[in-house]
A and B are shown apart, each in its own frame.
Chain A
Amino acid sequence: DTAVSQTPKYLVTQMGNDKSIKCEQNLGHDTMYWYKQDSKKFLKIMFSYNNKELIINETVPNRFSPKSPDKAHLNLHINSLELGDSAVYFCASSHGGRINSPLHFGNGTRLTVT
């Protein structure tokens, strides 16, 4: 009965590689997000999709490319990984147009770039 699931949970890779993180939600939400949590636990939004359409794109390097094949899935592809990309990446979902709809988060993907 997992609500928001991300894979993989851990990802260790070398600089310069390309990697993807997958996210799926079964809550029937129409909006999905990627947040980045740095080593100091600070959370910052990266992207948001509503019904497969990109609606929020913060100042994120072009190496990060989200893809939403349908409203239940939002994947994150990262090209040419850098040391500074090491962080925990959280996927979340909500009813986008409802101001009282809280975000539901996955358990995160810990990315370590060596």
Chain B
Amino acid sequence: AQSVAQPEDQVNVAEGNPLTVKCTYSVSGNPYLFWYVQYPNRGLQFLLKYITGDNLVKGSYGFEAEFNKSQTSFHLKKPSALVSDSALYFCAVRDMRNGGYNKLIFGAGTRLAVHP
């Protein structure tokens, strides 16, 4: 079955420190992975994706993610956290079973709290 796990409900980090939000996946076939961010009362915003190629993917707002095939992980990272990064972060994997059409399966979300 296609699935995504985000093991942490919440991540707390001090401003200026590096942050990591964890994601592991389970897919049959090649994984197509995405990170989204959701601010309060807003829709999800696309941050970055891994389709193929370099394992380190750079995205919006200084975020990056590292694809690790052996560990089936796709952790989101940022070298220096900002208070404004505080939000809900979702990892997602594309489910390719339905004739290849887009269907994203989302993890349960991780709330990131960056403290001044």
Q: Which residues of A contact B (CB under 8 A)?
A: 4, 31, 33, 40-45, 48, 50, 55-56, 90, 92, 94, 96-97, 99-108
User: Nearest chain-A residue to B38 (Cβ)?
Assistant: A41
Q: Which of chain B's residues have a CB closer than 8 A to the CB of A50?
A: 101
Interface residues on B, range: 20 to 34
Q: When each residue 93-116 of chain B gets 1 if its CB lies under 8 Å from chain A and 0 otherwise, what string results?
A: 010101111111110110000000
B contact residues vs A (CB 8 Å cutoff): 32, 34, 36, 38, 41-46, 49, 51, 88, 90, 94, 96, 98-106, 108-109
Whether A41 pairs with B98 at a CB distance below 8 angstroms is no
Q: How many A-B residue pairs have CB under 8 A?
A: 68
Contact status B96-A99, CB under 8 Å: yes
A sample of 15 cross-chain residue pairs with beta-carbon separation below 8 angstroms, ordered by A number, consists of A41-B38, A44-B106, A45-B103, A56-B103, A90-B43, A92-B43, A97-B100, A97-B101, A99-B94, A99-B96, A100-B51, A102-B46, A102-B49, A103-B44, A107-B43
Known: A41-B109, A96-B102. A105 touches B44 (CB 8 A): yes
Residues of B close to A103: CB separation below 8 A? 44, 46, 102, 104
Query: Which residues of chain A are near B96, meaning CB under 8 Å?
Result: 99
Q: What distance in Å separates the Cβ of A62 from its nearest Cβ neighbour in chain B?
A: 20
Bound CA–CA A24/B108 (angstroms) = 27
> Which of A45, A97, A99 has the largest number of chain B CB atoms within 10 A?
A99
Contact A107 B102 (CB under 8 A): no
A107–B44 CA distance with the chains assembled, in angstroms: 8
CA distance A4 to B43 in the complex (A): 10
